Amino acid sequence: MKTLRIFSDFFIYSNIFISFCASAATYQTYLIRGEVDWNYLALVFCSTFVFYNGQRIFLSKNYTEENSSERHKWILKNKKLLIVLCAFACLASIPLIITWNFKMILMFGVFSVVSSFYFLPKINLRAIPGVKAVYIALLWTFSTVFFPLLMQQEEIISIGYYFHLPGFFSLLQRFFFILALSVAFNIRDISIDKKKGVKTLPVLFGETKTKILCVVLIMIFFGMIPPSFVIGKALFYSAIITGVVILFASEKRREYYYSFLMDGMIVLQAALVFFFST
């Protein structure tokens, strides 16, 4: 039992699972919109791993054993391991993008720099109410929908391409789904954020109103599904199950409820799309 807990803590707290979620979300985009690019799936995994661990390594100086979550305590104990794993992920990313054309490399480079704005102290978007969740949702939308579509339409660099009906709905669906999860995720840290003076939406509105907002976002996500869309059933079931998970969210829930079950809704949606598309 102890061995299983050590493995599960590593799997969740090292951000391997959320990186897998990002790859699953990208795979879902390919299932609906195009041919699977396995190299890009690997790149999404590596870049997500570096992004999530990079910010936590950077912010770990603010963690303490006494007033931190289970995840933060684990990071403090395994910081050197995470640095080594991030270095490997960066190295693994090089052969995955070296064959891209210059425009794609430049766009991805700019995207990577913008991603770092999330936690840099002089910018610190995390401290602006609501911006944290919106920013995360935008990053996920770009990396798991925008770039996969762009990779398959390199000759169409114009942003107008994405406002054709199918691509537009794909962007909106992913944005509102991830936004709902991102806002709900902050319910976990209401007390900690209050002490640190971080004004997240749950801190400002309270737990109940935040959950209502998240359910509304899930309803908007479902409203973005065209009536004739063949994958509609998969996204409908995903919306219902995710809504239930959000409604049962609470500050008292353990870390695994958020980092495994709630994040796992991303994998569940991809799995449902795979099931209904085959």
Question: Which pLDDT belongs to residue 87?
Answer: 96
Question: Is the pLDDT assigned to residue 166 strictly greater than 70?
Answer: no
Contact 71, 13 (CB under 8 A): yes
Question: Which pLDDT belongs to residue 244?
Answer: 97
pLDDT confidence bin for 257, thresholds 50/70/90: very high
Q: What are phi and psi of 47, to 5 degrees?
A: -70, -35
Coil, helix or strand at residue 18: helix
Domain that holds residue 6: 2-277
pLDDT confidence bin for 7, thresholds 50/70/90: very high
- Residues 94-143 pLDDT 10s: 999 988 888 888 888 888 887 777 666 556 666 666 788 898 999 999 99
Residue 93's contacts (CB-CB under 8 Å, 6 or more residues apart) are 43, 46, 47, 50
If one counts the domains in the chain, the total is 1
Question: Is the pLDDT assigned to residue 48 strictly greater than 50?
Answer: yes
pTM metric for this prediction: 0.91
pLDDT confidence bin for 43, thresholds 50/70/90: very high
Taking the CA atoms of 140, 76, 9 and 201 in sequence, report the sign of the dihedral they define. negative
Q: What is the mean pLDDT of the chain?
A: 86
Average pLDDT over residues 144-164: 65
- Residues 202-213 pLDDT 10s: 888 999 999 999
* Nearest Cα to Cα of residue 235 among 244, 247, 246, 224: 224
